[in-house]
Amino acid sequence: MSSSNTTTITPQGAPNRRNTELFLLGFAVLIPIFAYANVGLALNGSLPAGMLAYGLGLGAMALIAHLAVRRFAPYSDPLLLPVASLLNGLGLVLIWRLDQSPLLKRLGQGTGASTQLMWSTLGIILFVCVLIFIKDHRVLQRYTYISMVVALVLLAAPAFFPARAESFGAKIWIYIGPYSIQPGEFVKIIIAIFFAGYLMVKRDALALASRRFMGLYLPRGRDLGPILVVWALSILILVFETDLGTSLLFFGLFVIMLYVATERTSWIVFGLLMSAGGAAVVASFEPHVHQRVVAWLDPMAIFGPHPPPGLISDQAAQALFAFGSGGVLGSGLGQGHSDLIKFAAKSDFILGTVGEELGLCGMMAVFVLYALLVQRGMRTALAARDPFGKLLAVGLSGAFALQVFIVAGGVMNLIPLTGMTMPFLAQGGSSVITNWALVAILLKISDTARRPAPAPAPTTDAEPTQVVRL
Amino acid sequence: MNKPLRRVAIFCGLLIFALLVRDNWVQFVQADELKTDEHNRRVPIERYAQPRGDIVVGGKSITGSTKTDGSDFQYKRTYTNGPMYAPVTGYASQAFGSNQIENIEDGILTGDDDRLFFNRTIDVLTGKPKKGGSVVTTIDPKAQKAAFEGLGDKKGAVVALDPETGAILALASTPSYDPSSIAGNSKTDGKNWSALQKENNPDDPMLNRALRQTYPPGSTFKVVTAAAALENGLYTDIDEKTKSPLPYRLPQSTTELKNEGNIPCKNASMKVALQYSCNTVFGKISENLTNEKMKKQAERFGFNDKVFIPVRAEASVYPKDNPPQNAMAGIGQASNRATPLQMAMVAAAVANNGKLMKPYLVQELRAPNLNVIAQTTPEQMSRPVSPENAQKLQQMMVNVVERGTGTNGRIPGVEVGGKTGTAQHGVANSGKPYAWFISYAKTDKGSPVAVAVVVEDSSGTVRNDVAGGRLAAPIARDVMRAVLDK
């Protein structure tokens, strides 16, 4: 913009990249179909029966999403939708592949793909709805405090439902009839809206009114209030719902958004200190969290003659075996034994199947896809022109990145394991719906950000300006 | 806000990067270790994914594989005549691992052995499923049957060797077990397994008595003592009077060594002494030779050393000891102990004119396409006695069978040499005695078979009557006959 001859923005300049998106979507549909055929051939030596229906369904969903984007967010980022579709499609194939496992069938976990397909469809519907009904992301700003209330209610809800045996101690579900909902997933978006709205208003106060102490800008006591509230909230989730992942996610999300809003490094230091302190205290007395830490330190101890008292499951070890057995190239789809993970093999541990059957290469590809998604989100935040949009975009993509890290890190035993789903890949209705909504909001923000400025309204006097010599 | 935003973007990139690094660590650096971890169920799944190779006896496979359902282990081992061949094969169980040949030749049987690499590569290229190779044993099915049926429901063991090669012709141990019954990993297999364990079954059916149990050799050890006397020049003529006193008092002791009954042992020749199984004569020979020379002779027959056939056989022992114990050891009634295999080796060395061949059980290993990939060539292990002394020992042993305690081992028209034994054991000899018989048969073409038989428990038989000649010799005779009739 600095050169002298571009004093006005040319309206026809920036291409909207919709055709790029369509082209990429073609791959995003073809790759899962190919994978689906691959599983069928490996398991039964024939193409799976539902191949055509699956292909058409996936294609139709992608096409509808694409058309909605073309119509309602024409300038949005072209990569987000194809990447999300590809991950969702691969996830469906992986779940279907695990459905075929005799071991999981015996354990009553034989049907997953059809329900997941239904949830994915609902996710796409929500995606389209978000694109249609949220004309501009700034509308969401109006719901800042309502979001807070909704988020608190949703977060508190699972504590009032009894933990079920099959959930291994974590109380993160609410039960409505036959369905179980994981509100923590929805809250991810809602709380990002609240933080974005709140921080946009308070950022100056938080950033500027501070005292300098040992090179750090310390916030004033009263500005610390909301941070302490969020911190306390995440600790409460940890204690009452024994959900390490969600509390880590929320706290991390808040610190990231606070940092972006205030540009103060001191917040990060505070955030890290508080989360480390809180986690250490809770881990020492909360048995469920303690178990996870024990399992993280030595997952193989479960096979020893005297497994430590906290260690009750061989999941972590089985996941490592799955990764190790996959090696660099993997066993090939349908030819691994990741069903040995048994519980949550299709949800939290879906990466085990990726690792074993697609190998290190497949895992790296999947991680790169996630990285792409996150970085496109970050780019959207950079490009957004309004602070609310910036904060919301960075919050959503930051939350996404944190979730990927927490789940994948946990499954690969990099950090203690926490119960969360791998976005798009894993089985879980709440998760897939939320993530489609998340992508829709990001698309909407990027649409606003990349939309060319409207052409200047034609002035009534079209006369060239006279140069008046004085 | 863009500066912190960029930093957050970098931070998120670092998170993903950390995942990539960790993934490389797990799936590349640690991959092999995790892949082959003993707790990784993929290892046994892979192992049981195809039928196991065969163990062959007399040109026929005595093992097989059957598909299991309801398990992720696809194939399990089956055995024909399981109890009879259990001491030969060992077991291969999905739940309990494997032992003996099944364990030692596992690589061949599963097809994973490096020597099968070429075959395997070809199979992969041509799209054929992986197959296991086969292990061909030296067992003679007729001899094995005679041995196993001869032992019947008695407790004991039989080993038959080809003295000229060392090939093991029969290897039986009773009571036995059927490895098929523990081959799977079902509840029944588990129950069968625990019922076979020593703590639940005092008969210890899974003990391979032929190789892994050492017994006091009793009077059969007198052959070794006689060999020591000849080799060390104590006597050169087997008909020479030995100047043995009767009664004979053990050195440095007031205890008298007794004979079984009133037999002509005073000043008897070695030949006569062996014929009647004189304790006094051989006790004195052992005393005169001293512990050092006795031990050396025993070691030349293979004592004090483990034998690998390639299954490990327990070492038989002839320890360093004081003179009275050493004198007792000369008649096989002290701290010296021998496996049935060891005593068969003694008989075989004598029969083979003093040359001890290394015993072996595996004739050859074959690739799935039946190409021979390894073959055992007979190998001399030692030369315990000179050919002349071996001839003398043969004369003495033939005399035992012709006129002495071993007449039950006689086979009409065939030269048979043998020695009986009845070993006392337990505190004050309270245990039921072990009946022993070692023998060999000889034709004009050499000696095709040497046998050692031990019958451990002889409930229902009057104690003094349990002479090796009565219980063990008929079994040895039947085994030798089975080999000769071929």
DSSP B331-379: TT-SS-BB-HHHHHHHHHHHHTTTPEEPPBSEEEEE-TT--EEEEPPP-
Residue A43 covered by a domain: no
Minimum-distance CB partner of B9 among A263, A300, A378:
A378
Cβ contacts of A363 on chain B, cutoff 8 Å:
23, 27
Q: Do A402 and B13 touch (CB under 8 A)?
A: no
Minimum-distance CB partner of A337 among B26, B34, B41:
B41
**The token pair that represents B318 in the structure block:** 């002839």
Cβ contacts of B7 on chain A, cutoff 8 Å:
259
- Show the domain range for B251: 211-361+382-484
For tokens 């599963």, what's the residue? Answer: B110
CB-based contact, A327 to chain B, within 8 Å: yes
**Dmax (CA) of chain A:** 99
Minimum-distance CB partner of B35 among A327, A374, A375:
A327
Q: Do B19 and A404 touch (CB under 8 A)?
A: yes
Q: Do A402 and B15 touch (CB under 8 A)?
A: yes
pLDDT digits over A281-305, tens only? 877 777 777 778 888 888 888 887 7
| Direct distance between the N- and C-terminal alpha carbons of chain A, in angstroms, rounded to an integer | 30
Cβ contacts of A378 on chain B, cutoff 8 Å:
5, 8-9, 12
Closest CA to B378 of B161, B224, B61, B57: B161
Distance separating alpha carbons of residues A333 and A354, to the nearest angstrom: 8
- Show the domain range for A367: 137-450
Lowest mean pLDDT: which of A72-76, A199-203, A242-246, B436-440? Answer: A242-246
Cβ contacts of A368 on chain B, cutoff 8 Å:
16
**Which residues, including other chains, have CB under 8 Å from residue B88's CB and lie 6 or more apart?**
B55, B57, B62, B100, B101, B137, B139, B144, B171, B361
Cβ under 8 Å to B: A residues 112-131:
none
Indicate the angle between helix axes A387-411 and A244-262, nearest 10 degrees.
150
CB-based contact, A375 to chain B, within 8 Å: yes
**Which residues, including other chains, have CB under 8 Å from residue B303's CB and lie 6 or more apart?**
B295, B315, B316, B317, B318, B336, B338, B342
Q: Do B23 and A321 touch (CB under 8 A)?
A: no
Cβ contacts of A328 on chain B, cutoff 8 Å:
27-28, 31
Residue B121 covered by a domain: no
Residue B167 covered by a domain: no
SS3 call for B422: strand
B342 residue type, one letter: Q
Marked catalytic residue, from B65, B176, B219, B316: B219
Sequence-ordered alpha helix ranges (H) in B76-139: 82-89, 100-104, 106-110, 117-126
Q: How many helices (H) and strands (E) does chain A have?
A: 16, 4
Average pLDDT over residues B5-13: 93
Residue B236 covered by a domain: yes
The highest-confidence range among A243-252, A267-276, B20-29, by mean pLDDT, is B20-29
A294 residue type, one letter: V
Write phi, then psi, for B454 (nearest 5 degrees).
Answer: -130, 135
For tokens 């469906």, what's the residue? Answer: A92
Closest CA to A395 of A445, A452, A460, A336: A445
The highest-confidence range among A44-48, A167-171, A313-317, A401-405, by mean pLDDT, is A401-405
pLDDT digits over B18-63, tens only? 999 999 999 999 999 998 888 888 888 888 888 899 999 999 999 9
Q: Do A390 and B8 touch (CB under 8 A)?
A: no
- At B319 the pLDDT is 93
Q: Do A328 and B28 touch (CB under 8 A)?
A: yes
SS3 call for A59: helix
Is A181 a residue whose pLDDT tops 90? no
Lowest mean pLDDT: which of A180-184, B43-47, B476-480? Answer: A180-184
Element (H, E) at B169: strand B168-174
Please state the domain count of chain B.
Answer: 1
Looking at per-residue pLDDT, the higher value among B283 and B117 belongs to B283
Residue A425 covered by a domain: yes
Cβ contacts of A326 on chain B, cutoff 8 Å:
27, 31
CB-based contact, A309 to chain B, within 8 Å: no
- Provide the pLDDT confidence category of residue A463 given band limits of 50, 70 and 90: low
**The token pair that represents A277 in the structure block:** 């302190």
Percent of chain B with pLDDT strictly greater than 70:
97
Q: Counting Cβ atoms within 10 Å, is residue A351 exposed (0-12), middle (13-18) or buried (19+)?
A: buried
8 Å CB contact between B172 and B155? no
Residue A380 covered by a domain: yes
Cβ contacts of A405 on chain B, cutoff 8 Å:
15-16, 18-19
Element (H, E) at B174: strand B168-174
For tokens 């020597």, what's the residue? Answer: B115
Cβ under 8 Å to B: A residues 174-233:
none
Cβ contacts of B31 on chain A, cutoff 8 Å:
323-328
**Min Cα separation A277/chain B (Å):** 21
8 Å CB contact between B337 and B317? yes
Selected residue of B10, B11, B12, B28 to mutate for chain A interface (largest A Cβ count, 10 A): B12
Selected residue of A195, A325, A337 to mutate for chain B interface (largest B Cβ count, 10 A): A325
User: Chain A: residue nearest B41 by CA?
Assistant: A340
Rg (CA), chain A: 24
Lowest mean pLDDT: which of A86-90, A127-131, B411-415, B432-436? Answer: B432-436
- At B465 the pLDDT is 45
Percent of chain A with pLDDT strictly greater than 90:
41
pLDDT digits over A217-226, tens only? 666 677 667 6
Q: Do A321 and B37 touch (CB under 8 A)?
A: yes
Residue A381 covered by a domain: yes
SS3 call for B348: helix
Residue B93: Cβ within 10 Å count? 23
Distance set, CA B144 to CA A275, B168, B439, B480 (Å): 74, 10, 16, 10
Residue B468 covered by a domain: yes
Residue B8 covered by a domain: no
Q: Identify the CATH number of the domain in which residue B466 sits.
A: 3.40.710.10
Is A1 a residue whose pLDDT tops 50? no
Residue A266 covered by a domain: yes
Cβ contacts of A398 on chain B, cutoff 8 Å:
8, 12
Q: Do B31 and A327 touch (CB under 8 A)?
A: yes
Tell me what ipTM this predicted complex has. Answer: 0.90
Q: Do A409 and B22 touch (CB under 8 A)?
A: yes
**Min Cα separation B204/chain A (Å):** 26
Element (H, E) at B92: strand B92-93
User: Chain A: residue nearest B20 by CA?
Assistant: A364
Per the prediction, chain A carries an average pLDDT of: 84
Is B260 a residue whose pLDDT tops 70? yes
User: Chain A: residue nearest B31 by CA?
Assistant: A324
Lowest mean pLDDT: which of A194-198, B124-128, B475-479? Answer: B124-128
Distance separating alpha carbons of residues B305 and B338, to the nearest angstrom: 11
Looking at per-residue pLDDT, the higher value among A211 and A105 belongs to A105
**The token pair that represents B405 in the structure block:** 């305690």
Q: Do A394 and B39 touch (CB under 8 A)?
A: no
Please state the domain count of chain A.
Answer: 1
SS3 call for B56: strand
Instruction: Establish, for the pair of chains A and B, how many residue pairs have beta carbons separated by less than 8 Å.
Output: 134
Average pLDDT over residues B410-428: 85
CB-based contact, A325 to chain B, within 8 Å: yes
Average pLDDT over residues A141-170: 76
Distance set, CA A290 to CA A116, A307, B119 (Å): 32, 14, 51
Q: Do B24 and A324 touch (CB under 8 A)?
A: no
Strands A210-213 and B97-98: unpaired
- At B462 the pLDDT is 45
- Provide the pLDDT confidence category of residue A156 given band limits of 50, 70 and 90: confident
Distance separating alpha carbons of residues A300 and B322, to the nearest angstrom: 53
Distance separating alpha carbons of residues A332 and A344, to the nearest angstrom: 21
Distance separating alpha carbons of residues B340 and B337, to the nearest angstrom: 10
User: Chain A: residue nearest B43 by CA?
Assistant: A325
Residue B281 covered by a domain: yes
- Provide the pLDDT confidence category of residue A163 given band limits of 50, 70 and 90: low
Cβ under 8 Å to B: A residues 347-366:
355, 359-360, 363-364
Strands B415-423 and A216-219: unpaired
- At B457 the pLDDT is 63
- At A159 the pLDDT is 75
pLDDT digits over A125-149, tens only? 999 999 999 988 889 999 988 888 8
CB-based contact, A326 to chain B, within 8 Å: yes
Residue A142 covered by a domain: yes
Is A70 a residue whose pLDDT tops 90? yes
- At A4 the pLDDT is 47
- Provide the pLDDT confidence category of residue A3 given band limits of 50, 70 and 90: very low
Q: Do A324 and B18 touch (CB under 8 A)?
A: no
Is B421 a residue whose pLDDT tops 60? yes
Closest CA to B341 of B103, B88, B97: B88
Residue A29 covered by a domain: no
Cβ contacts of B37 on chain A, cutoff 8 Å:
300, 321, 324
Cβ contacts of B24 on chain A, cutoff 8 Å:
360
| Direct distance between the N- and C-terminal alpha carbons of chain B, in angstroms, rounded to an integer | 97
Residue A241 covered by a domain: yes
Distance set, CA A133 to CA A129, A150, A397 (Å): 6, 20, 21
Indicate the angle between helix axes A359-383 and A80-99, nearest 10 degrees.
150
- Provide the pLDDT confidence category of residue A50 given band limits of 50, 70 and 90: confident
**Upstream peptide bond of B87 is cis (omega within 30 degrees of 0):** no
Distance separating alpha carbons of residues B142 and B145, to the nearest angstrom: 5
Minimum-distance CB partner of B19 among A340, A379, A408:
A408
Q: Counting Cβ atoms within 10 Å, is residue B410 exposed (0-12), middle (13-18) or buried (19+)?
A: middle
Is A63 a residue whose pLDDT tops 90? yes
Closest CA to A425 of A35, A54, A94: A94
Chain B residues whose C-beta is within 8 A of a chain A C-beta are 1-9, 11-13, 15-16, 18-20, 22-24, 26-28, 30-35, 37, 39-42, 45, 72
Percent of chain A with pLDDT strictly greater than 70:
86
Q: Do B27 and A256 touch (CB under 8 A)?
A: no
- Provide the pLDDT confidence category of residue A370 given band limits of 50, 70 and 90: very high
Residue B346 covered by a domain: yes
Q: Do B13 and A337 touch (CB under 8 A)?
A: no
Cβ contacts of B1 on chain A, cutoff 8 Å:
260-261, 263, 387, 390-391
B93 catalytic per annotation: no
Residue B227 covered by a domain: yes
What DSSP letter does each residue of B444-455 carry, written as one string? TTEEEEEEEEEE
Strands B55-57 and B134-137: parallel
